Structure 1
Amino acid sequence: MSEFLAPYVDMVAPYAPYLIPMMILLPAFSAALTLLFARHPSIQRWIALIALAGLMAVSFMLVAISDLHGIQTVQIGGWDAPIGITLVADRLSSIMLAVSSIVLFAVMRFAIAQGIRDGGTEDPIAVFQPTYLLLTMGVNLSFLAGDLFNLYVGFEIFLVASYVLLTLGASASRVRAGINYVVVSIVSSMIFLIAIAGVYAAVGTINLAQIGIRMEEVPDGTRAAVFGILLVAFGIKAAVVPLDAWLPDSYPTAPSLVTAIFAGLLTKAGVYTIIRMRSTVFTDGEFDDLLLVVALATMIVGILGAMAQTDIKRLLSFTLVSHIGYMIFGIGLGTAPGLSGAIFYAVHHILVQTALFLVVGLIERQGGTSSLRRLGSLMYTAPVVAVLYLVPALNLGGIPPFSGFLGKVVLLQAGAEQGSWLAWVLIGGAVVTSLLTLYVMVLVWSKGFWRDRKDAPEGAIAMARPAPLADVTEDEVEFTERQDVGRIPFGMLGSTGMLVTVLCAITLVAGPLSGVTDRAAESAQDTTIYREAVLGTNWSDPGRTLDQATPDQEPDQFQNRDHPLRPAADEEANN
């Protein structure tokens, strides 16, 4: 953290107990307000934008505070941990909150611009903002939850919201995909509930910090069984092979702006929980080799599936699956550099996948379809869209100096340092996957942008005029009959450009960002810091309270001279 920012961070640090709940309460209250103003779309839009902009500001403050002053916790409901509800903002969760807030704001701006341009009375515009804000609340709660039950609640909130968003427009294909998504999500939630029951039966608590302590005394077989069930539940949400079959069939049927937020955030919530479980609770690394095998399979199967697609949405859905494998690779290495690489790559991937799906929305608007069999000439008819596609496409393909290249380099270096034969196999798989990703990205460019549309097999066919928040109808028309070709609102271009700009900025600040992810990985792997911050006791000596610890024993908590527990610690040290 820059010394220039340190004085300002010190000023806001005492307000951390108020900032953390705001990440949940602000979207909840904003959702209620947007429902009250359902008949006033302009007021709805302003409420949503102001709320999401506020979340962006709060999340960046939490990143700075947690990086300078260590883990910040809030006990909710008047009960201390492990009995009460604990919200935890450490470096890892704060980073995820910050990058999530960026894409949530950008996608909302995209949706508002599209809705203003196409607005009508037949589409469920009024329900979009409150549902979207509830999804935001669920995602934020998932990142901040300090216990399994509230983690489950966060998942369920954003899953229920996603059911509504996925079926906007109520076409037959969307309802069918929505049913598949609901069934898979219910199965995943049931497995998660079974795992929670197993955890409570084994250790008598659902607080993550206390689970980690007590799991050390649980027999190996029981511990492995519980972790295995949790991995299945979170693996479905993260869409890792072989639990990924639902994603390519569900995401492409949704509106592009909805698919963008799903691809950017919902799968990363699954990845985040795997990181949290592996670093906080199940620290013995018993499943690391299995995670590496799953990572390799996810990379290869996902990218091979992408190569077989002719629709850009389905192609990107398969690349989404494939690149989840890079994050699982970093987790499976079981080292701080590997975990740092996984976090860095998650930040990059949230932004790049969201940007690419928003670009698909622009392509559908300009070309009337996302099928490569029907697209062409976009380089000449929509040069701005071409640039907005090319930058994140090269980024995803790992072309230097973009953040995708840097993230892959960090992961490959971590694998080489770990040095096992399985890690070297993963290094080879990661390189092959990166090259094949670049191939499919160039394939989209050559067919959709560079080729003349009249040379496309079905170039004369397009879809009917886009409907609000529903992108396209199922009616085919002659491309020349479309009356809205080229009429892309500036807000749609601007919000997509915002994400592409942030992607480029990550390249420029890769050093400081990598430093933050390094510290996030190191503190995540130091279970002592997390447990003492959450439980308020020295977990290695239950009879000793935190206010009896000395500053040198708890460096992260006591870096701040104004920490509320610092005077008691100083007095104890002097005595």
Structure 2
Amino acid sequence: MTGETERAVEMAAGMMTTPVTAADWLVVAPIIIPLIFGAVLLMFRHETRWQGVVALVGLGALVGAEAALLARVLENGPLAMTMGSWLPPFGISFTVDALGALFALGSGGVAFICAIFALRDIGASGRRYGFYPFLMLMMTGVSGAFLTGDIFNLYVWFEVFVISSFGLLILGSEKAQLDGATKYAILNLVATTLFLVATAYLYGIFGTLNMADIARKASGLRETAPLMTLAALYLLAFGMKAAAFPVNFWLPASYHTPRIVVGALFGGLLTKIGIYSLLRTLVMLFPVERAAMSELIGLVAIATMLLGALGALAQSDTRRMFGFLVISGVGVMLAGLALGSETGVAGAIFYALHSMLIMTALYLLAGMMRELGGSFSLHELSGLYRASPLLSGIALVLAAAVAGLPPASGLWPKVMLVKAALDADAWWLTGAILLSGFLTMIAVGRMFLLAYWREPAGGRSPAARAEPAGLFLGHGALIALSLPIVLLGLFPEPVIRVANLAAAGLLNSSGYIGAVFPAGGG
């Protein structure tokens, strides 16, 4: 009898005894919702007529859950939920702060708008071969990566969205898609292998995979453990995922090959998960090591943003051009990581949200340009202003946004990053940010002049090659992305406040740790 009592006491010491409130389920709702809808879509994969509608319902529910989660985090601070009733760090924790909730909401909104565009871009064959289940599975992995509080669990969610992205990449089985998918797969395999090696090394040092537990133990192990080696491994692994120089050549070799809506999803979302992971590990878990590598990260940032901008200038294919602009934007975000101050990190967070919107919109714009002009090549596109003044106006707004010009969203995060660089006397980083913006302006200005203002051969305007309903959905998706881009440019204060809160939470992780280990428990 005494032995049974002792066993019960031991179990209770490691278990959570209080029931989980209904509001706490918001923490995992962004993972559960797309997973359930993806399973439903897979079960009814032969009912292709309804797949788009069901996916829109699921993604609408996902955006609603993420908006409610962000509101709750802003009201109450970081939230945590540990699986299996085990107390952390024994159970796998999902921990949500302002950074994770903001990125999750941005990714869900982008996916919802892409699903609207997919109603016209994905035909019966694409639906039959699983576009919508792959999309929902990818969003499960993306949401899980932003919300997990366990670094091995982060690796698992990486694998979930990478596997589903392979399926989206080869949808259509064209030669160019298979070639792009091979390059994409090999480099992602290398990156995930490095990630796994680093995580095994981390577990050997810390004896835990819970991020909050690592954050509170790191200072005590810094004198004896090789944390610089760990930080360098994560920098390389996540830098490859984010397409940072010199491990970024896989992106322009693959992002132009899939269907345009898939390219939009990839350009808007996937590199941001690499940036998020760099912010989470280097700023929150290994801040001293990040500071020691700040000059190296700064040089990588400069090379990435300038290589991307120069690569965009050299392209005539609009999809390849936008792929290089994705890379240039990654360099801008890495500049905030290199600076490491609250303003610099907040600028990187704001720019990541802006990049989700603008890069998705630019890829969708490339698809609409091809329908009007019959090509992705700037050598063949011309006279699009006559064919669609509305699309021309949208293109002008997006060009200003990606170059960092007012009144669009790209201006303010660059202002924040330039201010942070000047405050740190990093004039070289300031110059690179401004130069990359200038080169980007030339690249997109060239695109606009050639594709929209140049007179078409023979003086005849190009004719629309899509059905009216398809044009309506295409323009509607672009307008839906352009509105927040303009609103964030005109009224940036709410996002700046959230970005500052997210940056402060990374730099001072006490709130994050307190959500997982309340009152110093664990």
Task: Tell me the TM-score normalised to structure 2 length.
Answer: 0.92
Cα offset, 1:384, TM superposition = 2.0
Aligned to 1:237: 241
Aligned to 2:347: 341
Aligned to 1:318: 324
| Matches of 2:269 and 2:247, distance apart in 1 | 18
Match of 1:504 among 466, 482, 486: 486
Confirm or deny: 8 A CA contact 1:24 1:137 kept in the other structure. yes
Confirm or deny: 8 A CA contact 1:330 1:338 kept in the other structure. yes
* Structure 2: runs of 5 or more not aligned: 1-19
- Establish whether residue 429 from structure 1 lines up as the match of residue 432 from structure 2: yes
Confirm or deny: 8 A CA contact 1:113 1:490 kept in the other structure. no
Identity score, percent: 32
Cα offset, 1:213, TM superposition = 2.5
Aligned to 1:453: 456
Q: Structure 1 124/48 Cα, relative in aligned 2: closer, same or farther at 3 Å?
A: closer
Confirm or deny: 8 A CA contact 1:209 1:280 kept in the other structure. no
| Matches of 2:467 and 2:62, distance apart in 1 | 35
| Matches of 1:320 and 1:30, distance apart in 2 | 30
Worse-matched range after superposition: 509-518 or 426-435: 509-518
- Establish whether residue 249 from structure 1 lines up as the match of residue 253 from structure 2: yes
Please list the CA deviations of residues 408-448 of structure 1 after superposition, one character each: whole Å capped at 9, or x if unmatched. Answer: 111111111222xxx21000111111011110010000111
| Letter of the 2:106 counterpart | V
Mapping for residues 32-51 of structure 1, pairs under 5 Å: 32-51=39-58
- Establish whether residue 100 from structure 1 lines up as the match of residue 107 from structure 2: yes
* Structure 1: runs of 5 or more not aligned: 1-12, 461-478, 539-544, 547-575
Aligned to 1:86: 93
Cα offset, 1:331, TM superposition = 1.3
Mapping for residues 228-377 of structure 1, pairs under 5 Å: 228-284=232-288, 285-377=291-383
Aligned to 2:472: 490
Confirm or deny: 8 A CA contact 1:340 1:517 kept in the other structure. yes
| Matches of 2:331 and 2:471, distance apart in 1 | 36
Confirm or deny: 8 A CA contact 2:100 2:146 kept in the other structure. yes
Q: Aligned Cα RMSD in Å?
A: 2.0
- Secondary structure of the corresponding residue to residue 74 of structure 1: strand
Match of 1:528 among 506, 510, 517: 510
Confirm or deny: 8 A CA contact 1:312 1:360 kept in the other structure. yes
Match of 1:518 among 475, 479, 500: 500
Q: Structure 1 168/338 Cα, relative in aligned 2: closer, same or farther at 3 Å?
A: same
Cα offset, 1:537, TM superposition = 4.5
Worse-matched range after superposition: 345-354 or 507-516: 507-516
| Matches of 1:405 and 1:26, distance apart in 2 | 34
| Matches of 1:362 and 1:220, distance apart in 2 | 57
Q: Structure 1 486/112 Cα, relative in aligned 2: closer, same or farther at 3 Å?
A: closer
Q: Structure 1 202/369 Cα, relative in aligned 2: closer, same or farther at 3 Å?
A: same
Q: Structure 1 398/123 Cα, relative in aligned 2: closer, same or farther at 3 Å?
A: closer
| Matches of 2:514 and 2:25, distance apart in 1 | 20
| Matches of 2:518 and 2:199, distance apart in 1 | 23
Task: Report the number of matched residues.
Answer: 500
Worse-matched range after superposition: 250-259 or 503-512: 503-512
Q: Structure 1 489/41 Cα, relative in aligned 2: closer, same or farther at 3 Å?
A: farther
Match of 2:138 among 122, 135, 143: 135
Confirm or deny: 8 A CA contact 2:46 2:128 kept in the other structure. no
| Letter of the 2:207 counterpart | G
Aligned to 2:175: 172
Cα offset, 1:483, TM superposition = 6.1
- Establish whether residue 399 from structure 1 lines up as the match of residue 399 from structure 2: no
Confirm or deny: 8 A CA contact 1:367 1:485 kept in the other structure. no
| Matches of 1:483 and 1:20, distance apart in 2 | 44
- Establish whether residue 76 from structure 1 lines up as the match of residue 49 from structure 2: no
Confirm or deny: 8 A CA contact 2:120 2:470 kept in the other structure. no
| Matches of 2:502 and 2:35, distance apart in 1 | 28
Worse-matched range after superposition: 435-444 or 43-52: 43-52
| Letter of the 1:531 counterpart | I
